Amino acid sequence: MEKSLIEEELKEVWKSYLSLIDGVMAEGALSTKTKELMAVILSIAGHCEPCIKIHLRRAIKLGATRKEIAESIAITLLMMGGPIDVWTRSTIKEIMDQLGVK
């Protein structure tokens, strides 16, 4: 992925952003796995394919099951409508196949 203009030109702002990510995604009342699944949902809703790939990989590495992923995507379907299912099929399958999720 290409570097962000912010990352290149505003290094302190970028470092603060990365620190925010670390703080938000840390274990807390919600597990990091749950937070990553939430990030998948928001990435789908935001039509950010690179974000889906990043957060889905992380969720799977944290132990997200096929069923948990499906239930998370179902929340997006509920909130965003049927086009989400069609739009995300190939991206979700690609990452799950790459990581061996059965």
User: For 40-86, what is each residue's pLDDT tens digit?
Assistant: 999 999 999 999 999 999 999 999 999 999 999 999 988 888 887 88
Q: What pLDDT, in 10s, does the model give residues 4-18?
A: 999 999 999 999 999
Q: Find the length of the chain.
A: 102
> Does CATH number 1.20.1290.10 belong to domain 31-102?
yes
Where are the domains positioned within the chain? 31-102
Quote the Cα angle for 47-53-58, to 5°. 130
Query: How do the residues of the chain divide into helix, strand and coil, expressed in percent and rounded to 5?
Result: 75, 0, 25
pLDDT in the model for residue 96: 93
